[in-house]
Amino acid sequence: MKAALACGQHAHARWLHPGAWWIWALGLAAAASRTLNPMVLALIIAVAAVVVSARKPDAPWARSFVFFVKLGIAIIVIRVGIQILFAAALGTTTLFTLPSLALPSWMAGVRIGGTVTLESILIAFYDGLRLATIIICVGAANSLASPSRLLKSVPAALYEVGVSVVVALTFTPQLVADVTRVQSARHLRGRVTKGPRAIAGAAMPVLEGALERSVTLAAAMDSRGYGRRNTNSASQQRLSAALLIGGLVCACIGAYALVAAGSPWFLSTPMLAVGVIASLIAITWSAKSAIRSRYRPDPWWLPEWLVALSGVFAAGTFWVATWVVPFQMATPADPPTWPALPVLAVLGLAIALTPALVAPPLPEVFAVALQAEPHGNEVAA
Amino acid sequence: MIRFEDVSITYSDQPEPILRDINLLLEEGELVLVVGRTGSGKTTLLQAINGLVPHFTGGTLSGRVVVNGRDTRTHPPRELADLVGVVPQDPASAFVADTVEEELAFGMECLGLSGEVMRRRVEETLDLLGLNDLRYRPLMTLSAGQQQRVAIGAVLTSHPKVLVLDEPTSALDPGAAEEILSALQRLVHDLGMTVVMAEHRLERVVQYADRVIIVPGNAQPLLIGTPQEMMREAPIAPPVVELGRLAGWNPLPLSVRDARRVAGSLRELLVGQEPPIRVISHVDSGTPLVQAKDLTFRYGPHVALKSVSVQVHGGEVVALMGRNGAGKSTLLNAIVGLRTPTSGTIKTHGVDPISLKGVELLARVGLVPQSPGDLLEATTVAAECRAADRDARVVPGTTRELLSSLASEIRDETHPRDLSEGQRLLLALAIVLAARPPLLLLDEPTRGLDYPTKIRLVDVLRNLAPAGHAIILATHDVELAAEVATRVIVLAEGEVVADGKTAEVVVASPMFAPQVSKILAPYPWLTVSDVVNTVGPVILRSHAPTSGDAFA
């Protein structure tokens, strides 16, 4: 088998295909969406954190994991806060009572303050934790897979969109540098550097700079052959792009309907199928006309299969577990119960941990701290 | 290779053409240098080669431009990408990818080359330009010289027959500029590539050119010829040429080596003479205007300044030199309180500059940053001047008066963005000087300046110093330092490696010595005017090895 050979051959340092990381992370997220067991959710977060710390490259975009964790905590706090303030109390274990606000009769059903029970807090907490876990899984993919490498793997029909996104991504740090520079300049003119007046004053030069740079960049990209086409006409190109985007939208709706309970049947599997078929047609169609080639595309070898499948496997075990042991997967809040530990789900998570070992190590430059600071723009430094 | 036939170019918002009736034939394997003032149409001429003018910029082009048989009327820039490589003025603004290797491959991907070809060419280009150690580095972490090399490499991978560069060395220190130029030399000589390059820094490039095109501006006809022919009559020339013209050397030397060979008799004249001493009006020897003690700056693992101790007094003109990234800008920023030092102390006018704000700061120290346009926010020159008066709390009209003394041709209603690079610098200088700060700092003032503007700046600076101002210039321009500086400080890796009188520091250094001092070494004369002042124009002329030359 080629794949088996590849594993032996290519155990050396390289980037794992970003698609594999995303499949793995989305598998974990899908698993998280199937459970309301806080113990299991905490385990999922732990798995994501372990893999991130083992295989996270030292690049600016990879530092986002912490941000996603903070976002997750914020979500839990907000969810529980809303529950305490606005939602009607469930259960009987009263923790404390907030002064409640009498509302006019036309706002019947809305409640502010009042009794706060352990049960309702637990429900809110489990719910918030589930959403936070999904967000953290996405964060893990974000910091493991380079966004620009992922965009390099997008199909030819989406290539131009992909390049625009890459350019936008490289623009952001430059914009930040511009803001610093203009703020310094304001300081040099003895003006305020903070507050609304400073922002208004700085906006003009920063936007002007950004605009000028985008024109330069567009000229440079054009001179380097960006947008060269084969014989395919422009209208044909547009048609295939429209087909692809339409197809992807259909596929998204279908996938959502498949997961969400209570959606009409025709929105689920048929929609998904239509979407996938339309996208495939568009991709093969535009692949014929694109003359563009790819430099050192990320290969899809055994490690990619293992990483992706471990995520899918975890999602699968959770799916089965919700059928087999539904009460273990959703810890009841009323009455408050100590969460159980479903063996099947834990097994799935153990497998989902393997990418920390089977993913190839990163190229050395990214594994160690980058020594260099931007030399070119000392002013911005 | 490149043919212009009766080409006239008019931009849509202008009544007159910027270039008129150009006929030009550039051969394969030529290195052509395009010179001219800012706004004369140099960049337009360069951009017409790959069709960016008019396909991208708009405007009308009459006549035709043909590159290797392809007419730019029917071929937009992307259809010429395999033939013409264009490196824009600011390479960093044209990067598409985020690492060096991917940037090198981008153009080839657009051309649809096969994987093996791309791989091979990337490796070859990394070697050709000495970039192999940087291949995985994010582009934003590179120094200016490295970025310039990557930008050149990124177009070379498409194997173009023509390379077009807009001011490739103007932002670089002398060492990095040498590297770029030698790489270009190799492309021309080994690969037969045609290189068309615009550059203001003639002293760096004129010796490498096969032909020189002067763009006089105002749609006047181009002047084309060998460097010798063109330099004989050019109104402004690098010091080596100026000295050669004054001494009547024939053939006119373009490089230091050629000049040294014929300068023997001139050097004999200087034996026993003393070079003119730079006037340092040491007005106050009291509190130094700048007093840095063990100043250290650290950004993460990178140390920008390592325990630097410097004092600067009124009346001094200090040139701060060193590689890109040696810590020059950091030191200037520390003096105006833009950065808090990691350790050590800095006193500007006896006060910690961090605590200074508003008019307190303006009245003590002024900094003209690397891109002077950053200082400008208003929509007209007049509004900008009024704002500066308010900021500095001075009598209304002060800034405009200063500006008129520096550049009287700048009109009130002009938008600052429409000023030329040099005019913007002078406007920024007027704004900074409005509060009469005794200490004036300039970061790379001659970057992108043409010779006439540079001469004007030199005059301005020379007049400021005797008035008691202390000036600190961070600069790569060795000729500027030789012209105005009384003292040179060389920084390397954040440390002071040399600090002394201009002549003492630069004459000893192969990197920072001005052309005149290289020609006349071991005698410490730095500029053409110093030599003329010592020996007198008549004697200088009579010591020419050959006589009968009409130029004086």
pLDDT digits (tens, 9 = 90+) for A271-299: 888 888 888 888 777 766 667 788 888 88
* Within-domain flag for B546: yes
In a domain, B249, yes or no: yes
pLDDT in tens, B399-410: 999 899 888 888
Contact A226 B417 (CB under 8 A): no
Q: Could you tell me if B542 lies within 8 Å of chain A, comparing CB atoms?
A: no
Chain B residues within 8 A of A201 when measuring between CB atoms: 377
Show residues of chain B in contact with A225, CB under 8 Å: 78, 81-82, 107, 110-111, 158
Contact check, Cβ <8 Å, A224/B81:
yes
CB contact under 8 A, B79 and A228: yes
CA–CA distance, B481 with B474 (Å, rounded to integer): 9
- Are B197 and B205 contacting, i.e. CB atoms less than 8 angstroms apart? yes
Residue A261 has pLDDT above 90, yes or no: no
- Residue A207, min C-alpha distance to chain B (Å): 12
* pLDDT of the residue at B318: 94
Q: Is residue B483 part of a domain?
A: no
Distance CA(B76)–CA(A168), nearest Å, equals 24
Smallest Cβ–Cβ distance between A188 and the set B93, B302, B367 belongs to: B367
Look at residue A374 and tell me if it is in a domain. no
Q: Mean pLDDT across chain B, nearest whole number?
A: 88
More confident residue, B510 or A154: B510
Helix B144-156 and helix B100-111, axial crossing angle in degrees, nearest 10: 20
Mean pLDDT of the B376-396 span: 91
Predicted pLDDT at B283: 55
User: CA dist A51 to A191, A362, B229, Å?
Assistant: 48, 13, 69
Q: What pLDDT score does B481 carry? A: 92
Please state, in angstroms and as integers, the Cα–Cα distance from residue B116 to each residue in A317, B105, B150, B152, B524, following that order.
43, 12, 21, 21, 56
Q: Is B168 helix (H, G, I), strand (E, B) or coil?
A: coil
Residue A4 has pLDDT above 60, yes or no: no
Q: B487 and B502 in contact (C-beta within 8 Å)?
A: yes
Asked casually if ipTM beats, i.e. exceeds, 0.85, the reply is: no
Which pLDDT band, with edges at 50, 70 and 90, does B221 fall under?
A: very high
pLDDT tens-digit readout, B427-468: 999 999 998 899 999 999 988 788 888 888 898 888 888 777
| Total domain count, chain B | 1
pLDDT of residue A1: 37
Assess whether pLDDT exceeds 60 at residue A67.
yes
Query: Which residues, other chains included, contact B536 with Cβ-Cβ below 8 Å and sequence gap of 6+?
Result: none
pLDDT-derived band at B254 (thresholds 50, 70, 90) equals very high
Residue B481 CA to residue B487 CA, distance in Å, equals: 9
Contacts of A290 in chain B (CB under 8 A): 112
Torsional class of B379: left (φ above 0), alpha (ψ -120 to 50), beta (otherwise):
alpha
Q: Do the domain assignments include residue B136?
A: no
Average pLDDT value over all residues in chain A: 81
Ranges A94-103, A245-254, B386-395: which has the least confidence:
A94-103
Residue A349 pLDDT level (bands cut at 50, 70, 90) = very high
B414-424, pLDDT tens digit by residue? 888 888 878 88
Q: Is residue B250 part of a domain?
A: yes
- Specify the pLDDT at position B130: 87
Name every chain A residue with its beta carbon within 8 A of the beta carbon of B376. Answer: 205
Residue A2 binned pLDDT confidence (cut-offs 50, 70, 90): very low
| B328 and chain A in contact, CB less than 8 A | yes
How many Cα atoms within 13 Å fall on the side-chain side of residue B58?
5
B10 to B57, B76, B400: CA distances (angstroms): 11, 18, 33
- Judged against a pLDDT cut of 90, whether residue A93 lies above it is answered with no
Cβ(B17)–Cβ(B219) below 8 Å: yes
Question: Confidence band (pLDDT; 50, 70, 90) for A156?
Answer: low
Of A255-259, B104-108, B229-233, B404-408, the range with the lowest mean pLDDT is: A255-259
> How many C-beta neighbours within 10 Å does residue A219 have?
21
Q: What pLDDT, on the 0 to 100 scale, is given for residue A157?
A: 65
* Statement: residue B222 has pLDDT above 90: yes
Q: How far is A337 from chain B (nearest CA, A)?
A: 49
Question: How many Å lie between the alpha carbon of B113 and the closest alpha carbon of chain A?
Answer: 6
If pLDDT is split at 50, 70 and 90, which confidence band does B542 have?
A: low
| Cβ distance of B324 and A363 shorter than 8 Å | no
Tokens 């954190």, residue? A49
For residue A369, how far is the Cα from the chain centroid? 25
Asked if A372 and B324 come within 8 Å (Cβ–Cβ), the reply is: no
Determine the Cα–Cα distance for residues B370 and A221; give it in Å rounded to an integer: 26
Determine whether the interchain pair A223/B78 forms a contact, defined as Cβ–Cβ distance below 8 Å: yes
For residue A132, tell me if it sits in a domain: yes
Q: Which residue type, as a one-letter code, is found at position B149?
A: R
Which range is least confidently modeled, A150-154, A216-220, B372-376?
A: A150-154
Asked if pLDDT for residue A202 goes beyond 90, the answer is: no
- Which chain B positions have a beta carbon within 8 Å of A59's beta carbon? 138
pLDDT tops 90 at residue A149: no
Please indicate whether, in this complex, the C-beta atoms of B329 and A226 are within 8 angstroms of each other.
no
Out of B94, B101, B371, closest to residue A216 by CB: B94
**Residue A47 domain flag:** yes
Number of alpha carbons in the 13 Å side-chain half-sphere of residue B42: 27
pLDDT per residue as tens digits for the range A35-59: 999 999 999 999 999 999 998 887 7
Residue B264 burial (C-beta neighbours within 10 Å; 0-12, 13-18, 19+): exposed
| Residue B538, domain extent | 241-271+523-552
Instruction: For helices B144-156 and B115-128, give the axis angle rounded to 10 degrees.
Output: 140
**CA distances to A55, A262, A317 from A326, in Å:** 34, 19, 12
Helix (H) or strand (E) holding B48: helix B42-49
3-state DSSP call for residue B73? coil
A38 within a domain of the structure (yes/no)? yes
Residue A168: list chain B partners with CB under 8 A: none
- Cα–Cα dist A76/B410, whole Å: 61
Name residue, tokens 């590297």.
B179
Interface of B with A in 63-82 (CB under 8 A): 76-82
What's the confidence (pLDDT) of residue B107?
92
In A, which residues are within 8 Å of B388 by CB distance?
A: 189
How wide is the angle at C-alpha B534 spanned by C-alphas B528 and B540, nearest 5°? 70
pLDDT of A126 strictly over 90: yes
* Position B37 in a domain: no
pLDDT above 90: percentage of residues in chain B: 48
Q: Does B115 touch chain A (CB under 8 A)?
A: yes
**pLDDT digit string, tens, across residues B171-201:** 888 888 988 999 899 889 988 999 999 998 8
Is residue B440 within 8 Å of residue B471, measured between CB atoms? yes
Residue A344 is predicted with a pLDDT of 93
Written as one string, the DSSP assignment of B427-466 is: HHHHHHHTT--SEEEEESTTTT--HHHHHHHHHHHHHHGG
If one counts every other C-beta atom within 10 angstroms of the C-beta of residue A155, the result is 16
For residue B276, is pLDDT > 90?
Answer: no
B349: left (phi over 0), alpha (psi -120 to 50) or beta: left
In angstroms, the CA B107 to CA B85 distance is 10
User: Is B224 touching A (CB cutoff 8 A)?
Assistant: no
Give the mean pLDDT of A159-182: 75
Question: Residue B375: how many CA atoms within 13 Å on its side-chain side?
Answer: 28
Residues in chain B within 8 Å Cβ distance of A149:
none
Greatest Cα pair distance, chain A, in angstroms, is 73
Position A370 confidence tier, pLDDT thresholds 50, 70, 90: very low
pLDDT at A368 over 70: no
What domain range is A271 assigned to?
Answer: 12-226+234-293+300-367
> Stretch B41-51: mean pLDDT, rounded?
92
Q: Which residues on chain A are in Cβ contact (under 8 Å) with B371?
A: 181
- Domain count of the fold of chain A: 1
- Comparing alpha-carbon positions, the chain A residue that sits nearest to B360 is A190
Shortest Cα–Cα distance, A32 to chain B (Å):
34
Q: Name the residue of chain A whose CA is nearest to B357's CA.
A: A190
Residue A54: φ, ψ to 5° = -80, -35
**Proportion of chain A above pLDDT 70, given as a percent:** 85
